[in-house]
Chain A
């Protein structure tokens, strides 16, 4: 049973470059979440989608960040232009929304992003 798949696992790039992070949720899941984790701020929610529609993007730091979910099996998080302070581990998670509390969120292994 494939879990949430994120790519790349590691990305090192220079400031000013565009960065695209990718996520494939678990098949059949209809909610998708992007989180960012740093030592200083811990795990923060950036944005989440229900049925491919963005519901809450209030956690997106600024206009340099954008996220899309063109279909139920794929999402991207883009940073343009990137800055050193964007360095963090970015996690994607998915969940089956059946209107109940019993469904856990399943996380990918994250993308470790370093902006030089």
Chain B
């Protein structure tokens, strides 16, 4: 599996935008970029995914570099409820294989 690299932790003020980076320099042409997050005492939950184009949904935006070697998850206005560990995961085109989790980025949100 292609590897991803994320900062161990980040901090944000409430109501501010947050940009969570992910490096994946060995990504293959058919790997999709998935983001999940894990709130305290809960299982991981899906946030967003993309292949080449930037993606938006009700939770977040995903900006993918033109060479696809990095991506950024954008939370437009952080709330206290967004404090979680965010995982950037590469997944093969078929999507039939399980998610493989790294250590993720622990996001703290300050009121």
Contact = CB atoms under 8 A, between A and B. Distances in A.
Asked whether A and B interact, the reply is: yes
B102 interface: yes
Interface string B70-95: 00000000000000000000011111
A100 interface: yes
Given A107-B43, A109-B43, A101 B91 contact: yes
B45 interface: yes
Contact of A91 (B43, B91, B93, B95): B43
B46 A104 contact: yes
A24 to B, nearest CB: 14
Given A42-B101, A42-B103, A45-B100, A103 B95 contact: yes
A38 B9 CA distance: 18
Contact of B96 (A91, A97, A106, A107): A97
Q: Which of B42, B96, B103 has the most CB atoms of chain A within a 10 A radius of its CB?
A: B96
B100 A99 contact: no
Contacts of A79: none
29 contacts: A31-B96, A35-B101, A42-B102, A42-B103, A43-B44, A43-B101, A45-B98, A50-B96, A91-B44, A97-B95, A99-B94, A99-B96, A101-B91, A101-B92, A101-B94, A102-B95, A103-B95, A104-B34, A104-B36, A104-B46, A104-B49, A105-B98, A105-B99, A106-B45, A107-B45, A109-B41, A109-B42, A109-B43, A110-B42
Interface of A: 4, 31, 33, 35, 42-45, 48, 50, 56, 91, 93, 97, 99-110
Interface of B: 32, 34, 36, 41-46, 49, 91-96, 98-103
